[in-house]
């Protein structure tokens, strides 16, 4: 059953649990996500990036998700645009049938991020669609947008409070130390859980963890056995994911793990 993102995340926020959010680029990945959701009896966020939409075609992406929702009508599903970079991209997703969109203006200054996010929120809310935004900057590569370590900035909790109040965004992705891709940490894994808890306290809305792939041993082994190279790769330890949910994360984004497994 296709639902608004907020229908899933407000319940998770109230009851203190996390929901998996999984990116797909083809039917095989989408089918696996639905099978896992059915097995775990869990709601799902099904995500497509701008790059994935360009590859699949937006109508095909929406059509595949709607078909799978008919096959699994008991599973609440939000179809989410991941890392939308422009107002036009978010508007296109809303018109195509997405029930949740992310406007990622985190590479802009705070005021520009706030202005663009507010504009997207107004448009999306008028159409009954939920909105995610990001504050701070994550290291790594997302749809060919690269952020170096020197440019990565952790979220400011007081700015997060102001941002949420003024933009009326539905859920927020605060940068707390994760990064995109398979190489998330140069040294020992470390996330700023105190910062996360303060953001949760000040905003009191569902929070999102980006760059949350764990790169588990079984997935890593399969990739290496197939001739791949993951030397130096590090994922987010499962215990960190659990601690993040305890600290206020309600949506856990996973992309790299699925790419490696596929």
User: Was 256 annotated as part of a binding site?
Assistant: yes
Q: Which of 82, 151, 217, 229 is catalytic?
A: 82
Of the candidates 196, 250, 259, which has an alpha carbon nearest to the alpha carbon of residue 223? 259
User: Was 212 annotated as part of a binding site?
Assistant: yes
User: Was 99 annotated as part of a binding site?
Assistant: no
Instruction: Provide the residue count of the chain.
Output: 262
Annotation marks residue 82 as catalytic: yes
**Distances 172 to 67, 74, 133, 168, 202 between C-alpha atoms, Å:** 29, 27, 5, 10, 12
User: Was 143 annotated as part of a binding site?
Assistant: no
User: Was 26 annotated as part of a binding site?
Assistant: no
Of the candidates 241, 240, 157, which has an alpha carbon nearest to the alpha carbon of residue 204? 157
Distance CA 5, CA 99 (A): 6
User: Was 213 annotated as part of a binding site?
Assistant: yes
User: Was 83 annotated as part of a binding site?
Assistant: yes
Residue pair 93/56 in contact (Cβ under 8 Å)? The answer is no
Distance CA 50, CA 206 (A): 23
User: Was 35 annotated as part of a binding site?
Assistant: no
Q: Count CB neighbours of 225 within 10 A.
A: 8
Q: Count CB neighbours of 171 within 10 A.
A: 24
Binding-site residue set for dihydroxyacetone phosphate: 181, 211-213, 253-256
Binding-site residue set for Zn(2+): 83, 104, 134, 180, 210
Binding-site residue set: 83, 104, 134, 180-181, 210-213, 253-256
| Residues taking part in catalysis | 82
């Amino acid at each position: 059953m296709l639902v608004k993102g907020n229908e899933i995340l407000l319940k998770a926020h109230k009851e203190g649990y996390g929901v998996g959010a999984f990116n797909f680029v083809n039917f095989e990945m989408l089918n696996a996500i639905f099978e896992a959701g059915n097995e775990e009896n869990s709601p799902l966020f099904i995500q497509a990036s701008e790059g994935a939409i360009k590859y699949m075609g937006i109508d095909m992406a929406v059509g595949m998700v709607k078909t799978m929702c008919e096959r699994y009508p008991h599973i609440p599903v939000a179809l989410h645009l991941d890392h939308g970079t422009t107002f036009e991209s978010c508007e296109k997703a809303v018109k195509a049938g997405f029930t949740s969109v992310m406007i990622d203006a985190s590479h802009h200054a705070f005021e520009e991020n706030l202005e663009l996010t507010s504009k997207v929120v107004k448009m999306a809310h008028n159409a009954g669609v939920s909105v995610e935004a990001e504050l701070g900057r994550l290291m790594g590569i997302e749809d060919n947008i690269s952020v170096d370590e020197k440019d990565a900035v952790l979220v400011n909790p007081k700015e997060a409070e102001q941002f949420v109040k003024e933009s009326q965004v539905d859920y927020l992705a605060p940068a707390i130390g994760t990064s995109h891709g398979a190489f998330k940490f140069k040294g020992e894994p470390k996330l700023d859980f105190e910062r996360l808890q303060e953001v949760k306290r000040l905003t009191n809305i569902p929070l999102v963890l980006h760059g949350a792939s764990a790169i588990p041993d079984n997935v890593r082994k399969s990739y290496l056995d197939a001739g791949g190279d993951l030397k130096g790769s590090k994922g987010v330890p499962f215990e960190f994911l659990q601690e993040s949910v305890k600290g206020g994360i309600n949506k856990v984004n996973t992309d790299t793990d699925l790419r490696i497994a596929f």
